[in-house]
Amino acid sequence: MNSRMGQAAAAYRQAAASVHPTVAVVKLYDATLLAISQAIRAREASQFEECFVKVMRAATILRGLDHALDFAKGGAVAERLHRVYKGYILALHLSYGKPDVVRRYRKLHDSLVELRDAWAGIAGMDAFVRQEGSDAPTPQTGALARPRPVRESDMDPSMFFGLTGSGP
């Protein structure tokens, strides 16, 4: 296991030890979104090395989420998440040197917000709201902030074996 995977696994285990599994997943999405936002800002400022570091951080978190999937428990949802994570990782790396990299990263960021908010709804957390001048998610207030009720058919967080303590 390389050092980046070790770091991702350690961060994943640390998050799992302190919060509910679905909350940990949302927090990892938030960290990924933050890294992508920072990569965008770095690229806009022509700070290419910093952009690369942030892209690597985002990819490492996504790789950790991917490696924590339990396909036996997660079934088709775990398979779909696996494809989504691999697609994000590939898009992050392939977009890096393109002339329209900022547009591509914004598109990735926005689509990841949708996935994050789906998990936030399951966890009973607020939706992601981007505030001007900040990369951190800001909780919504008012009627739109209420998450939908959790249903039995929603994604099972136990498919993330690294969060629930049970192995594959």
* pLDDT tens digits, one per residue of 26-39: 999 999 999 999 99
CA pseudo-torsion sign 148, 71, 167, 57: negative
Number of Cβ within 10 Å of residue 151's Cβ equals: 7
Check which CATH number belongs to the domain holding 22 and give it: 1.20.120.340
Supply the pLDDT for residue 35. 96
Contact present, 139 and 117 (Cβ < 8 Å):
no
Return d(Cα 155, Cα 168) in angstroms, integer. Answer: 17
Q: Tell me the three state secondary structure of residue 69.
A: strand
Angle, helices 21-44/48-67, rounded to nearest 10 degrees: 160
pLDDT greater than 80 at residue 132 = no
Number of folded domains in the chain?
1
Tell me the pLDDT band of 135, cut-offs 50, 70 and 90.
low
Return d(Cα 29, Cα 116) in angstroms, integer. Answer: 6
Number of Cβ within 10 Å of residue 84's Cβ equals: 16
The parent domain of residue 8 ranges over 3-164
Which of 67, 61, 69, 25 has the alpha carbon at shortest distance from 159?
Answer: 69
* pLDDT above 90 coverage of the chain, percent: 55
**How much is the mean pLDDT over the chain?**
79
Return d(Cα 110, Cα 33) in angstroms, integer. Answer: 9
Give per-residue pLDDT as tens, 101-110: 999 999 999 9
Mean pLDDT of the 16-29 span: 83
pLDDT greater than 70 at residue 131 = no
Supply the pLDDT for residue 148. 40
Q: Which residues lie closer than 8 Å to 128 by C-beta, 6 or more apart?
A: 30, 33, 113, 116, 117, 120, 137, 138
CA pseudo-torsion sign 110, 115, 121, 125: negative
pLDDT greater than 70 at residue 87 = yes
Supply the pLDDT for residue 22. 86
Supply the pLDDT for residue 123. 87
Look at the pTM and tell me if it is higher than 0.85: no
Give per-residue pLDDT as tens, 61-74: 999 999 999 999 98
